Amino acid sequence: MPRVIDALCRLPRIGWVNRGISDPETVCSHTLLTAYIAINLAKASGLDAGKAALLALIHDVAEHKLGDVVREVREMDMDYWRELEQGVANELGLGKEFQEYSEGISGEARVVMISDKLATLLRACRYREQGEDVESLITYYSKAVKSMLSYLNGDAAAQVEAIINSCLHA
């Protein structure tokens, strides 16, 4: 597993690279941000924060082998990509957990799905503050996150809406 983690910590997120971001976040830093968000949202939703953290930490684990592929390519054949990712997760002994995440089987898995999108939105907002042209991504990810608010319980949805609004009106 140390080699997997090392690879993820050296792998820049391709979407930021393609946009010309000079110091793009890595898959590892994205994963960590996703995990922190998932922990907070799971707690606010009355879910198992430890389980949400585990699912968040493995949600992009296959990228150490497959690379970080842009969303548009993945969307061309999601079944194919999920099958590839599932195979890599199985090789690492994380198949059951990855399947739970990728299929949105549990409340925690759905929290991770929204956390993943929210982490990308937050990073886009940060890059905009640095003068980068990422408005289209902010629009896309804010809509994606809003469409998933029903995944959350308790105060979590209101917390996410506040984050989205602060980003949109910054």
* Domain architecture of the chain: domains with CATH: 2-168 (1.10.3210.10)
pTM of the model: 0.93
The DSSP H or E segment spanning 23 is: none
CA–CA gap between residue 72 and residue 76 (Å, rounded): 7
pLDDT, position 81:
87
90-117 pLDDT tens trace: 999 999 999 999 999 999 999 999 999 9
**Helix axis angle, 107-129 relative to 135-146, nearest 10°?**
160
Nearest to 65 by CA among 3, 17, 146: 3
Q: Is the pLDDT of residue 163 over 80?
A: yes
55-83 pLDDT tens trace: 999 999 988 888 888 788 888 888 888 89
